[in-house]
Amino acid sequence: MAKKSNFKEITEHKNGFPLFSDPIIDLDIGKGKKVVISDIWSFWYYLVKKFISRKQKTNELEKELLSYLEQSKYFYESAEKSPIKSQPLLYYYSFLNLSKVIYVFKENKDSLEGIKFIHGISEVYRSSFDKSEVSIKTSTQGDIQLAHEVFKIFDGSMAPPNNSNKHNFNIKELLSHCVGIHRAYSEIYNIDDENFIKIEKFFLFRQSKKLHFLAYLGNLKQEDYNKVKNCNYQIYYFENNTSNLNILNEINIDKKEGHYLHLELDINHYNELTKDNYREICKEIRRAGIWYFIGNSGYTIYLSKNNNMRYSQESIIYMTMFFLGSITRYNPYLFDSIFSDKEQWLMSEFLTTQPKQFLYLATARVLGRNILKAYSSF
């Protein structure tokens, strides 16, 4: 007879676990479950209406938010139909306008009177793509520096502090952590060792007043193990039915030999898990460093083996799209010269795949729910 375990597996993963349990605004969408939608723009119109109704906002604010949303949709759909060199600027303006709506949600604004949004980001072209940067302004005095607000929304404390002057980010380095194009990136820059390790399966367990998150990583090569340990992940090995992590010895599941990531959270009660409990374990997971990508079968999550540029997909896509849009707007003749033939393929991959990632990941982050597209390929 198997020994009774002190760890109970939580098999119903609710409230956006493990990625999105910390909503920017709680509109009570999806009853804690994932949300599958076929029209992202109609869904956003619904969110604005619900925000206005639940928060008892004015009709004037509703008109302004819907106008931002209309602009976002128009620019996005125009970009989809445009030649590739015309796409970046249109996608950027789509993201810009959607981010205004997200900012109002986050700040729970009653009115936009006296508020002026500015880009808050500039292109720093340095003769070649690998040296070029974007510069983020962090002032909180006067106009709203929208790029910094976006950074804070999606990356929290990882974003540059308020009023800390300008912060520059190398675009090529940012793209090294863009999950959706990381294989193309590795091919182009002859990188044999990819940045990411796929999490093959994850589990949530409860032990009295503690939560335990376990993620199976497979059998890591020694080099990969050393790299993830250097990134301060708590990694343990399970072999011959034993491990130096007690939970792996006790839990009654079909355990594979290999490496596991472990995170632990105190919840201080014996009752059913609350939204706040899911929110806190999600924060621990994101703080540890989790990357994610929406594919045809849902979300795939990864660990990074690199300590640099550990920012969210949303912020990376936003900043990169601004840079590309700035090039095509002010210096369109540079688009062919700044990128090698291989890098032009990388930009094509980015523009083909990442706008939809931004749209759905940003929506998931706002609501604290897994948001999926029905009947469509990513």
137 and 39 together in one domain: yes
d(CA 170, CA 135): 9
Within-domain flag for 24: no
pTM of the model: 0.93
User: Which residue did the predictor score with more confidence, 193 or 171?
Assistant: 171
Instruction: With a cut of 80, say whether residue 15 has pLDDT above it.
Output: no
Residue 327 domain-assigned? Answer: yes
Across the beta sheet with 298-304, the strand order is 196-198, 298-304, 291-295
> Is residue 48, in this structure, part of any structural domain at all?
yes
- DSSP H or E stretch at residue 154: helix 146-155
> Do the domain assignments include residue 25?
no
pLDDT per residue as tens digits for the range 228-237? 999 989 999 9
Domain boundary pick from 254, 280, 304: 304
Q: Domain for residue 365, yes or no?
A: yes
Whether residue 186 is found in the same domain as residue 316: yes
Same domain? 162 vs 151: yes
Q: What are the respective helix, strand and coil percentages of the chain, to the nearest 5?
A: 45, 20, 35
Domain of 233 in residue numbering reads as 8-14+195-304
Strands 121-124 and 133-136 turn out to be: antiparallel
Residues 359 and 349 in one domain: yes
Orientation angle between helical segments 40-54 and 59-81, nearest 10 degrees = 170
When divided into structural domains, the chain yields a total of: 2
Residue 3 lies in a domain: no
Last residue of a domain, one of 304, 333, 349: 304
pLDDT top residue among 19 and 33:
19
Nearest residue to 264 via CA among 231, 301, 228, 236: 236
Residues 316 and 287 in one domain: no
β-bridge mates for residue 235, sequence order: 261
What single letter denotes the amino acid at residue 107? E
Same domain? For 219 and 145 the reply is no
pLDDT of residue 1: 45
pLDDT cut 70: percent of the chain above it: 98
Contact 318, 150 (CB under 8 A): yes
Among 4-13, 52-61, 309-318, name the one with the lowest average pLDDT: 4-13
Helices vs. strands in the chain: H and E counts, helices first: 12, 15
Domain boundary at 304, 326, 348, which?
304
Query: With contact defined as beta carbons under 8 Å apart, do 134 and 123 qualify?
Result: yes
Report the pLDDT value the prediction gives residue 376, as an integer from 0 to 100: 67
**Is the pLDDT confidence value at 71 over 80?**
yes
Residue 58 lies in a domain: yes
pLDDT at 129: 87
Look at residue 47 and tell me if it is in a domain.
yes
